[in-house]
């Protein structure tokens, strides 16, 4: 049996062939190079009549999956049938990522904060890439998990300081949608440029996030350093909210292109994230938060591995 596996996010797609219980080499594609999924999968015509797709975005009533962060880029099963792919299965991208992350051996995880893990409770899997993804995993008692998909990245952003309140109000003005600011509006690849511009406005500047940012150089500027600090503060608040709601003493697992890039460049500000995550006056909840271990995924194509597990257990 062979199955095409595809992890399609807001910016990139990663595709590999799963055959004889083995995942072949994955190929990374930029969505902007293809008009839709049919154009993307043209190169894989004849390899399998089945594809399992972990995708960001939404499945609409017409049966077409659309990637909202990329101008509603379409994955149309009817168009894929024209390539001989008769069976298309959709899974939310963070459900697949969670399946893969929770199966990783310890040497493929970086322990950012050790905590005191409680294996009987929930895990939170979160990632800042193009958007801000979230899944919650509940242990089922047999060394496996029930994965709950979530739109938690759209939780409204909390502020604790006047600086944060001012910046969030500027983000809202810049977005000009009339809607409140959610965490994904700032803690994501699409949100960082808006956050940066809002911070610049507090200094009386009208400057944009570079098209190809040099994060290290930006971090040495006043505006860049403040933007990155606020990014990490809001990431911590986001993780706190979902961890309290899920009672996630089983651990927090982080991934996503933005977080990975910050870590690779030495700019991931763990101290600031933990400071925001642990900010709580309630003694019981504060103790719970301080017990939650935090891990960073330290391997590529985790969602593809999660998809392969689903294929095996079908």
pTM (2 d.p.): 0.94
The average pLDDT across 26-51 equals 95
pLDDT band at 224 (very low <50, low <70, confident <90, very high): very high
Look at residue 46 and tell me whether its pLDDT is greater than 70: yes
Please state, for a pLDDT cut of 70, what percent of the chain lies above it: 99
24: Cβ–Cβ under 8 A, 6 or more apart, which residues? 16, 17, 18
Nearest CA among 248, 226, 131 for reference residue 186: 131
Q: What is the pLDDT of residue 10?
A: 87
Alpha helices in 153-214 (DSSP H): 162-175, 192-202
Nearest residue to 192 via CA among 165, 240, 228? 228
Tell me what the mean pLDDT of segment 216-230 comes to: 98
Is it the case that residue 69 has pLDDT exceeding 70?
no
In terms of pLDDT, which residue wins out, 273 or 312? 273
Nearest CA among 284, 287, 289, 257 for reference residue 273: 289
Is the per-residue pLDDT at 281 higher than 90? yes
Residue 300 neighbours by CB distance under 10 Å: 13
d(CA 62, CA 75): 11
For range 281-298, the mean pLDDT: 97
The whole-number pLDDT of residue 142 equals 80
Q: All domains of the chain, ordered by start, with CATH?
A: 2-96+302-312 (3.30.420.40), 106-297 (3.40.367.20)
pLDDT tens sequence across 152-205:
999 999 999 999 999 999 999 999 998 999 999 999 999 999 999 999 999 999
Interatomic CA distance for residues 14 and 26, integer angstroms: 6
Lowest mean pLDDT among 61-70, 98-107, 281-290: 61-70
Task: Place 144 in a pLDDT band, splitting at 50, 70 and 90.
Answer: confident
**Cα distance between residue 243 and residue 253, in whole Å:** 11
Rounded distance, CA 16 to CA 23, Å?
7
pLDDT at position 267 is: 98
User: Could you give the strand order of the β-sheet that contains 65-67, starting from the edge strand earlier in sequence?
Assistant: 58-59, 65-67, 73-75
pLDDT bin (cut points 50, 70, 90) of residue 1 is confident
* pLDDT tens by residue, 76-135: 999 999 999 999 999 999 999 999 999 999 999 999 999 999 989 999 999 999 999 999
pLDDT at 242 exceeding the cut of 90: yes
pLDDT of 70 reads 60
pLDDT tens per residue across span 244-275: 999 999 999 999 999 999 999 999 999 999 99
Task: Give the per-residue pLDDT at 312.
Answer: 83
Instruction: Give mean pLDDT, residues 14-35.
Output: 95
Task: Using DSSP bridges, classify how beta strands 50-55 and 87-92 pair: parallel, antiparallel or unpaired.
Answer: parallel
**CA 123 – CA 250 distance, rounded (Å):** 5
Q: What is the mean pLDDT of the chain?
A: 95
- Judged against a pLDDT cut of 80, whether residue 143 lies above it is answered with no
With cut-offs at 50, 70 and 90, classify the pLDDT of residue 29.
very high
Q: How far apart are CA 22 and CA 204, in angstroms?
A: 55
């Amino acid at each position: 049996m062979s199955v095409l596996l595809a992890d399609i996010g807001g910016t990139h797609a990663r595709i590999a062939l799963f055959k004889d219980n083995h995942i072949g080499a994955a190929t990374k594609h930029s969505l902007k190079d293809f008009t839709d999924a049919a154009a993307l999968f043209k190169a894989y015509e004849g390899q399998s009549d089945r594809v399992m797709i972990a995708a960001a975005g939404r499945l609409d009533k017409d049966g077409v999956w659309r990637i909202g962060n990329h101008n509603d880029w379409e994955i149309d099963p009817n168009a894929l049938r024209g390539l001989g792919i008769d069976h298309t299965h959709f899974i939310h991208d963070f459900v697949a990522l969670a399946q893969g992350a929770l199966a990783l051996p310890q040497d493929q995880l970086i322990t950012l904060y050790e905590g005191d893990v409680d294996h009987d409770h929930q895990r939170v899997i979160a990632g800042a890439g193009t958007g801000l993804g979230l899944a919650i995993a509940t242990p089922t008692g047999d060394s496996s998990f029930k994965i709950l998909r979530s739109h938690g990245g759209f939780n409204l952003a909390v502020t604790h300081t006047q600086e944060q309140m001012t910046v969030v109000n500027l983000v809202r003005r810049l977005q000009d949608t009339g809607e409140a600011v959610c965490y994904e509006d700032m803690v994501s690849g699409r949100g960082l440029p808006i956050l940066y511009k809002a911070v610049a406005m507090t200094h009386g500047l009208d400057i944009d996030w570079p098209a190809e940012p040099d994060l290290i150089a930006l971090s040495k500027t006043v505006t860049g350093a403040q933007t990155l600090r606020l990014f990490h503060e809001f990431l911590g608040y986001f993780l706190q909210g979902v961890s309290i709601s899920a009672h996630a003493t089983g651990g927090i697992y982080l991934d996503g292109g933005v977080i990975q890039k910050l870590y690779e460049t030495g700019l991931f500000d763990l101290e600031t994230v933990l400071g925001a995550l642990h900010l709580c006056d309630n003694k019981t909840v504060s103790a719970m938060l301080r017990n939650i271990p935090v891990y960073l995924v330290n391997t590529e194509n985790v969602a593809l591995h999660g998809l392969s597990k689903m294929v095996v257990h079908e």
